[in-house]
Chain A
């Protein structure tokens, strides 16, 4: 018992670990929440693109000594507008435009940073995160921006839902879909930027997508889905950090691997949708839950129709 307690508390004795835990909980919650919309709207590739598109901005502000937050937002906005413009021309598909610009932007970042002397270490930090180097100031900034993102998401919840569910109807409600889409991409960029230090540029996509994907399999309702995704994000972060501390694995990698393991478990064993659960249930003559629900609805419907 005491070993278990010391197992839990030992890393917390170090200030840098306490900061790291706080940072990963914040990032897990924020990425988990916004990630639900990323997966529902099929924006995973766009999320990956933004994560890479912030790279040149971060590098430039690093070289010039400015705020990396501003640099990242500027370059993410430029790239997302460029993708939007090429897509709207109708000549190329959206994913093609994303592919062209995000790798281009990324290469620009690599080109600039390769002129620096501390090239190898800097690149590693930016690509894979340096969660153990999170300062109190970083933590404060992450919390501030993260709360802003969550607040903006909450305030725009109705527009986001209508615009994601039925775009024609959204237009008939007078919604400026382009504007709301850009707002969402801006919030996504901010989320990615504040996650950079913790999980790094390459792995942030997993924090956006993996917990949300697990939550998607666990519930059919949007509100609970966001909550579950945020919790899974935070839990993966904390567990991953423990694993990283005791086994000496790169923190970003071990956090993402934890999230991936959670996803695999959910995919196989989720009560309603799990790959194994549904097959076992069918063996036991419980039938496929979703199909059952459907025929039940149809039967009720017919009964209602004949009564009327």
Chain B
């Protein structure tokens, strides 16, 4: 396990930075991840009762590739967790397991103690924006409404109440004025905000967001942070994947450093250390550390 971890890091270094400084490689070797059992966050001070979501020794194998191994994490009610790791670290895979659309190879996911085998209406998922047909003739308002449209009676039009809620959600992400614009005409950041409005419409207890800050403009980043904050105050459980350490530190109660295994998990101040970065990101860690505000 220990040996395997350091091997992974070495591969990353050679891929991501062709000429790594020897110092980085030297500090990496002693960076030992705590054992998986101690990664579970239920040792958090003041965490009330059972976690909202929990993964137990979760593992995902794709045909020839190990995507996730031995992931045991707790996600508490009202807590925001950021999954941090380089590309290919398994962040999206973990979110898809939490949502129930990807059955894990090993282990299980629990929502309020119940095993998750299929997507639950109590979990809202904001996927990356890659799998979307942007030319589809659908307005911003109708995209937001798809968050709840399947609950409506199929013999009737969508209830007026849903429509009002959709407009309110769009107002919350400052997209109400674009309600009747075709979704593809918007910028990337605006599209991201519409998808967050769609998730808000689901009235879920758990929100899973895949890279909500990547490829979007600064105002959108600020708005997304604001929305996440108000959801957290409303007692929602939030899990988001990112490779942006600044965002992770600013908005999360718990950071999970992930690279196929859990490298470290806990409050940002304890987890976001140079050593942990380097064993998560390999050679790119120096870059990340330089951009980090004073810890």
Chain B residue at minimal CB-CB distance from A162: B146
**Is B174 an interface position by the 8 A CB rule?**
yes
Residues of A within 8 A of B185 (CB): 290, 293-294, 297
Residues facing A in B122-167 (CB within 8 A) are 123, 125, 127, 131-133, 136-139, 142-143, 146, 149-150, 152, 154-155
Q: A40-B136, A167-B131, A308-B174 are in contact. Are A172 and B118 (CB under 8 A)?
A: no
Listed by A's residue number, 16 A-B pairs whose Cβ atoms lie within 8 Å are A40-B133, A157-B154, A158-B146, A158-B154, A159-B150, A165-B132, A165-B136, A169-B146, A172-B123, A172-B125, A174-B121, A225-B137, A297-B178, A297-B187, A298-B187, A301-B190
Binding site for A on B (CB under 8 A): 99-101, 118-121, 123, 125, 127, 131-133, 136-139, 142-143, 146, 149-150, 152, 154-155, 174, 177-178, 181-182, 185-187, 190, 195, 198, 219
Determine whether the beta carbon of B150 is less than 8 Å from that of A166: no
**Is A5 an interface position by the 8 A CB rule?**
no
How far is it, in angstroms, between the C-alpha of A262 and the C-alpha of B225 when the chains are bound? 50
Of the candidates B132, B152, B198, the one having the most CB atoms from chain A within 10 angstroms of its own CB is B132
Chain A interface size band reads 35 or more
Q: Among B133, B136, B150, which residue has its beta carbon within 8 angstroms of that of A173?
A: B150
Binding site for B on A (CB under 8 A): 40, 155-159, 161-162, 164-169, 171-175, 216, 219-222, 225, 290, 293-294, 297-298, 300-301, 304-305, 308
Closest 3 pairs between A and B when the two form their complex, measured CB to CB: A172-B125, A168-B127, A174-B119
Determine whether the beta carbon of B133 is less than 8 Å from that of A172: no
In the complex, besides A165-B136, A219-B137, 8 extra interface pairs with C-beta distance below 8 angstroms are A158-B154, A161-B142, A165-B133, A166-B132, A166-B133, A171-B101, A222-B138, A293-B181
How far is it, in angstroms, between the C-alpha of A169 and the C-alpha of B143 when the chains are bound? 11
Residues of B within 8 A of A164 (CB): 133, 136
Chain B residue at minimal CB-CB distance from A219: B137
Q: Among B118, B132, B137, B219, which residue has its beta carbon within 8 angstroms of that of A305?
A: B219
Chain B residue at minimal CB-CB distance from A175: B150
How far is it, in angstroms, between the C-alpha of A166 and the C-alpha of B144 when the chains are bound? 12
A184 CB to nearest chain B CB (Å): 15
B240 CB to nearest chain A CB (Å): 15
B188 CB to nearest chain A CB (Å): 12
Determine whether the beta carbon of A169 is less than 8 Å from that of B137: no
Determine whether the beta carbon of A221 is less than 8 Å from that of B119: no
Residues of A within 8 A of B198 (CB): 169
How far is it, in angstroms, between the C-alpha of A219 and the C-alpha of B100 when the chains are bound? 37
Number of A-B residue pairs having CB atoms within 8 Å of each other in the complex = 89
Chain B residue at minimal CB-CB distance from A172: B125
Chain B residue at minimal CB-CB distance from A174: B119
Determine whether the beta carbon of A165 is less than 8 Å from that of B150: no
Residues of B within 8 A of A40 (CB): 133, 136-137
Residues of A within 8 A of B123 (CB): 172
Residues of B within 8 A of A301 (CB): 187, 190, 219
Of the candidates A158, A169, A171, A305, the one having the most CB atoms from chain B within 10 angstroms of its own CB is A169
B292 CB to nearest chain A CB (Å): 26
Determine whether the beta carbon of B119 is less than 8 Å from that of A161: no
Q: A165-B143, A297-B181, A304-B177 are in contact. Are A222 and B137 (CB under 8 A)?
A: yes
B234 CB to nearest chain A CB (Å): 21
How far is it, in angstroms, between the C-alpha of A144 and the C-alpha of B46 when the chains are bound? 66
Residues of A within 8 A of B219 (CB): 301, 305
Of the candidates A220, A225, A290, the one having the most CB atoms from chain B within 10 angstroms of its own CB is A220
How far is it, in angstroms, between the C-alpha of A173 and the C-alpha of B122 when the chains are bound? 10
B65 CB to nearest chain A CB (Å): 15
Determine whether the beta carbon of B138 is less than 8 Å from that of A158: no
B33 CB to nearest chain A CB (Å): 30
How far is it, in angstroms, between the C-alpha of A26 and the C-alpha of B160 when the chains are bound? 34
A189 CB to nearest chain B CB (Å): 22
Residues of A within 8 A of B133 (CB): 40, 164-166
How far is it, in angstroms, between the C-alpha of A80 and the C-alpha of B137 when the chains are bound? 27
B22 CB to nearest chain A CB (Å): 42
B210 CB to nearest chain A CB (Å): 9
Residues of A within 8 A of B174 (CB): 304-305, 308
